[in-house]
Chains A and B, each alone.
Chain A
Amino acid sequence: MRAQPALMQETARADQSLNAHALRADARRESLRLLALLAPSLFLVFAIIIVPIGWLFWLSLFDEAGALSAANYARFFEQASYIKTFVTTFKVAFIVTGACVLLGYPLAYMLSQLPRRAASICLIFVILPFWTSVLVRTYAWLVILQRKGLINSWLIDLGIISQPLSLANNLSGVVIGMTHILLPFLVLPLYASMKTIDTDCLRAGMNLGAGPAATFRQIFFPLSLPGLASGVVIVFVLCLGFFVTPALMGGGKVIMWAMRMEQTTSLYSNWGAGAALGVVLLVVTLALLGLFQWLLGARATGVWSSR
């Protein structure tokens, strides 16, 4: 008995099972080691996301004199223009997201049905605009859309219209410009998710008596929803923070949240004024994402309850 290994003696004291204590300790050590591996990325997230956002929030609570105050938030209710900006921002985000869905869904569908080689060539054309700066693309749209731009000149030359259409320097200009820039953000995740749809599922649908339209509606579309949802969320959130395109294409009449942040930050000699706008946008965006997850996520990944 004296020669019994130390391990066994120890565990015999702790409880009845052989080496249970040592194994538990080993498991603990292993999870600590795994945590240590995670530490750099956790630190990074903390340092570049949590800390700045916390700081932003902290700043927003102080007024110009540096005293604790709700003035930065009270402004949203005192000044009607903030509510207007807020409404405009969400209106634009909804319209642009809607336009992206209307244009992007058929595009992604077409891409997903093309043979591999043709699809990759077409995908290059989808991604190509990423290689040009947003500024350049926005100016290009200005050239195309303005009163004496390409579209209006053509339409007038063809005798289709006599007065130029107001396509730039207003909401439609903003929507056109932003839709173009954000479309790939919808198409790419949607295309990826459409590619993963099992063609056998579609064949099964037809085999079981659903025509092409019914198969699309009852099988393809629901299965593409997760990709659509992530595309919609990306586009929507990007819309909320968009600056360059509305600033250049909106003719100063379409003021979005990011533009207002810039205005406010330079107008008030107080970082808190701009920070408060950031906090409000962040909170509303997170709330919306939560809602989205709840609505679309459950539908896309969950079960269809029986009737």
Chain B
Amino acid sequence: MNRTRSVSVVAIAGLMASLAAPAMAGDTITVASWGGTYQEAQTKAFFKPTADALGITIKEDTTNGLDDVRLQVTGNAVKWDITELGADECARGSKEGLFEKLDYGIIDKSGINPKLVHDDWVGISYTSVVLIYRTDVFGDKGPKTWADFWNVEKFPGRRALSGSQATETLSVAALAEGIPIDKVYPVDIDGALKSVDKIRGHVDAWWTSGAQAMQLVKDGEVDMASIWNGRAGTLKKEGAPVSFSFDQGVLTADCMVIPKGAKNKEAAMKALAMFVSPQLQANLPLYVDNGPVNEKAFETGKIPQDRIKDINSAPENVKKQVLQDAEFWRDNLVEATEKFNNLIQQ
């Protein structure tokens, strides 16, 4: 690491005359994301093209989320220049002052839902929570809405919901009460908890990770579940007898931030601008099921037409879904999660 830095110092010293030049060739930034196939897709879609275009080196790391950022910032040991977080984490971290301000002179925010454009954080991609059911149990007459999922008489069977993501399950619970998708936020937490209370006796597993949700459905441990669209897509590709749609899905955005005190802030800003640009955003769905956050990506022509309908953030699909409100959860997450935990625990 020191070696790399000294190399870049030498490089910069050699280019003393062009210190103010926009391109900082030879610079190195570190980007942290969630790892796994998602990060591999990001490498191909975002990191590699950006590094090539800017002539910088992008090193990668993985994160566990806001706690890691907080630890680095409060400990004055910031090793990342850009890191990915969940949108609610971004909202919380913003309130705690953990991030650098973003320069929207460099970053072009057009095409990104304004709810995901903030002073110090910006959306990067979407995941959806969708309803999946096994076709070997229900044929094509499975539960289509969350109200169906809650209807244990009409749809007997074993159920799984997310236990670790209270925000998602509470959103789903509000939908199950028949609240229209544009009225879900701000969530009536007590109402949503009452809704959870109705179903919890029929929930056989509260999953805590995407892999677990997938395993529960795949092995037939449950007949229907809430699940992330990426996992649902994988199941389908693997040929599991399952069906899902984006109807009444819950869209959750991921965001990117520059941690406060990042060492290569300016290069990071330029890289981030590249990441959210329509051209690179359009790369993402070619590798992974997480949808691009910039809707202009769909106008680039890079994404095949028959693929668009399967992307959760395609304009057609966005209309069917609820977008989680990061700032609402910033203010209500703790209380709602504690109450939710209390409810689902036996």
Name A's B-contacting residues (CB within 8 A). 79-81, 84-85, 88, 142-143, 146-149, 166, 168-169, 171, 247-248, 251-255, 260, 263, 265-269
Contact = CB atoms under 8 A, between A and B. Distances in A.
Given A146-B221, A266-B67, A84 B205 contact: no
A266 B341 contact: no
A169 B67 contact: no
Best-surrounded residue of A166, A169, A268 (most CB of chain B within 10 A):
A169
Contacts of B220: 147-148
B219 A251 contact: no
B62 interface: no
B223 to A, nearest CB: 10
A147 B158 contact: yes
Contact of A252 (B206, B338, B342): B206
B221 A147 contact: yes
A150 B24 CA distance: 60
Interface of B: 65-67, 70, 92, 96, 158, 163-164, 204-208, 212, 215-216, 219-221, 333-334, 337-338, 341-342, 344-346
Best-surrounded residue of B342, B344, B345 (most CB of chain A within 10 A):
B345
B219 A84 contact: no
Given A147-B221, A169-B205, A252-B206, A81 B342 contact: yes
B344 A253 contact: yes
Nearest to B65: A266
A88 B341 CA distance: 14
B64 to A, nearest CB: 8
Given A147-B158, A267-B334, A252 B344 contact: yes
Contact of A85 (B67, B205, B216, B345): B345
A254 B346 contact: yes
Contact of A263 (B96, B158, B221, B341): B341
Nearest to B200: A253
A142 B215 CA distance: 10
Nearest to A84: B345
A266 B68 CA distance: 10
Nearest to A83: B342
A216 B72 CA distance: 60
A95 B184 CA distance: 43
The 3 closest A-B pairs by CB, nearest first: A252-B206, A252-B163, A81-B342
Contacts of A260: 341
25 contacts: A80-B342, A81-B342, A88-B345, A143-B219, A147-B158, A148-B219, A149-B219, A169-B204, A247-B208, A251-B204, A251-B206, A252-B163, A252-B205, A252-B344, A253-B205, A253-B345, A255-B345, A263-B337, A263-B341, A266-B65, A266-B66, A266-B67, A267-B334, A268-B334, A269-B70
A96 B147 CA distance: 39
Nearest to A149: B219
Nearest to B92: A269
Nearest to A146: B221
A169 B205 CA distance: 6
A257 B70 CA distance: 24
A168 B342 contact: no
Contact of A171 (B66, B207, B344, B346): B346
Contacts of A253: 205-206, 344-346
Contacts of B70: 269
Nearest to A265: B67
A79 B334 CA distance: 12
A15 B337 CA distance: 75
Nearest to B205: A251
Nearest to A78: B338
A252 B212 CA distance: 11
Best-surrounded residue of A88, A143, A168, A253 (most CB of chain B within 10 A):
A253
